[in-house]
A = this chain, B = another copy of it.
Amino acid sequence: MAAPKGEWQLIEWIRSRIHLDPATVPIGPGDDMALVSLGGESQCLLTIDALLEGTHFDLAKAKPRQVGYKAMAVSLSDVAAMAAKPVCGLAWVGLPDGRDMAFAEQLSLGLNDAADAFSCPVVGGDVTSWQQPLTIGTAVVARPAGIRPVRRSGARPGDMLFVTGQLGGSSLGRHLTFTPRIAEARRLAATVAVHAMIDLSDGLSTDLGHMARESGVAAEVTAEAVPVSSAAARLAKTTGRTPLDHALNDGEDFELLLAVGPEDGESLVRANPLGDVRLTCIGRAGEGRGVTIVAEGGERRPLPPGGFEHFKPAAPGET
């Protein structure tokens, strides 16, 4: 019997099947965006995402304009993770039967709210009505624009690990209103040598696991250093979990996690280059593999991926 396999295993399988020419596809599947050559010196970065009603938003709590905003912002967060500059976006909407033009217009306005804020015009798309819940797919094109795209896989032993913003409790509202950290990513990458970067979509524990595995390093998180949001604290009161647990595992923070060398890291700590957006050193990369968390008393324990992993296939033999 095949063992249950997750999203990551499927992506690994797809990667193992695809033989991309690094001259034309310098960055293929598995990073926040792919990087492709368009001939000559010209390159572009690409990402595709989708939001599903019931999984990524609840129309009882979110206005359609907010859903449109989130759909485009999720892809723009991938642009941030590569320290790239947005060029344009595309959107596809599966519209539930019974939703009218006004609803579709609000979605479109929301898509454009995010697009306009980041000079990333929606240049095309499609709408299909169907009898299923609302689904919005987005694709975004970006370009390096003078900054070499930052991958997930470049963290080195000894690197200091930083996150922007504050983590956890995004489901209480921030997942609909967050600001993709494009300006912050480009400022950081222009200031220091960012070895690796990823946006926190699946939760710190999961995304740090991705970075560590892709980089071939271990990672250690200092529990008391993790910037826990006030929303995480509020949410903890209703869930019985700790605010730290929420900050480590909730997902949909859409903040940045990055790795820089120790000297650059110390200079970031001193310089506070992001102004109002908090930048916090949460730990270190080291030799080995796996992610560890160090509690206040010094106790060390593994920090397994706790963010949601979407693809949990059922037993084999069902096709």
Contact = CB atoms under 8 A, between A and B. Distances in A.
A246 B317 CA distance: 39
B127 A46 contact: no
Given A123-B20, A143-B38, A313 B90 contact: no
Contacts of A315: 100
Contact of A314 (B11, B18, B94, B100): B100
Contact of A132 (B34, B52, B99, B310): B52
Interface string A1-30: 010010101110110011010001101110
Nearest to A31: B124
A130 B54 contact: yes
SS of A interface (majority): mixed
A168 to B, nearest CB: 22
Interface residues of A, number: 83
A91 interface: yes
B130 A52 contact: yes
A143 B38 CA distance: 7
A31 B123 CA distance: 10
A96 to B, nearest CB: 10
B129 A28 contact: no
B135 A102 contact: no
Interface of A: 2, 5, 7, 9-11, 13-14, 17-18, 20, 24-25, 27-29, 31, 33-34, 36, 38-40, 42, 44, 46-50, 52, 54-55, 64, 87-88, 90-92, 94-95, 97-106, 108-109, 112, 121-133, 135, 137, 139, 141, 143, 145, 310-319
